[in-house]
Amino acid sequence: MARRSSTGRSLPMHYVVSDNVKQVGSYGFDFICIDQSKQAEIYNQMSRLGDIYAKAESVAVYLGEATKATDQAMDYLMRMEEGTSQILLGRIDNLMLEGFRDILSRPWFQRAWILQDAFNARAAVLYCGSKAVSSKIMIHVPKLLPDKIDFLSQQVLDLMPGSRKGGQAASKFQLYDLLQRFQHAKATDQRDKIYALLGMVDFGHSKSIILPDYSMSQKDLMRTVIANLCFCESSSVPELPYSTINEFLANLDLIDNNILKDIFETSLEIDLASLLQHGSRYIRIDRSLVEAASRNKTKSDEMVEILLRAIG
């Protein structure tokens, strides 16, 4: 995936992320470097992509072919990049506004797997047709529009180089936050709605790390996510009342207390203190959970004491 010299040393390279590239130069391409027909190949390469993007000198994003409107919009942004144009809304006509909206509604902004491209890139250049601007300029496009842009497109822009204060390196996120922000990202395989986020997750406080595993069913993956969020082992998570990951993510605002009761009663390894510290946004403690914890065969006294302190 990386260019190497004759001595085997890694060379600086650009990385291209695109749905439709017609000319291939000395670049790496995410859509042709991975054998999509082999699950083992997907697992191996997807787990490495975060590091590849972070080491790449630049990530080039191809958004698709140009239109008259996008050409005008890109010309304006290119003048901004050259320092010859300021953000003056009065000088933007309707055709240009159409171009800005078109650019930010391109399918690239909706794909789950591009999130790590935006997050890990040290620098990024976005192409629409033959015209290109850096992400440092593209992130200002919403300011040029009189109305709000699509939520997911805005979230992607917020991940990109140039959006971070002082140019600082990207900081990783809690898994729950990412699942909430990007639950509507598009993926052919629903499991990728979770796997595509893992390179951005801070697992520092977790009992376990989730890795892409395409031998795992959607139901087992959902239980693995709940186990990670609840600081417990997967075996203590009951069968979930969701058929698909889409349904699971749509109902993840709060974890159902019936699920938590089963975990509190059966888990042998739950770290309840960590759950209460880091999970306050997705759990609600009540007396039914205290009763469930009192039936835990190995940690009941400790758990009940922690829960009663939390309830107050």
Give pLDDT, residue 27: 46
- The percent of residues in the chain predicted with pLDDT above 70, rounded, is 79
Q: What sign has the CA pseudo-torsion 243, 247, 249, 253?
A: negative
In our burial notation (b when 16+ CB lie closer than 10 A, e otherwise), range 181-207 reads: bbbebebeebbbbbbbbbbbbeeeebb
* pTM of the predicted model as reported, rounded to 2 decimal places: 0.83
Q: What are phi and psi for residue 276, nearest 5 degrees? A: -65, -35
Long-range CB pairs of 220-228 (<8 Å, 24+ gap) are 221/191, 221/194, 221/245, 222/248, 225/175, 225/179, 225/194, 226/255, 226/259, 226/263, 228/175
Q: What is the pLDDT of residues 86-139, one digit of tens each?
A: 665 557 899 999 999 999 999 999 999 999 888 988 899 999 999 999 999 999
**Confidence band, pLDDT 50/70/90 cuts, at residue 19:** low
> What average pLDDT score do residues 166-188 get?
86
The single-letter code of the amino acid at 45 is: Q
> What average pLDDT score do residues 202-220 get?
91
Average pLDDT across the chain, whole number: 85
Q: Please enumerate in sequence order all residues whose Cβ is within 8 A of that of 8, keeping only pairs 6 or more positions apart, or say none.
A: none
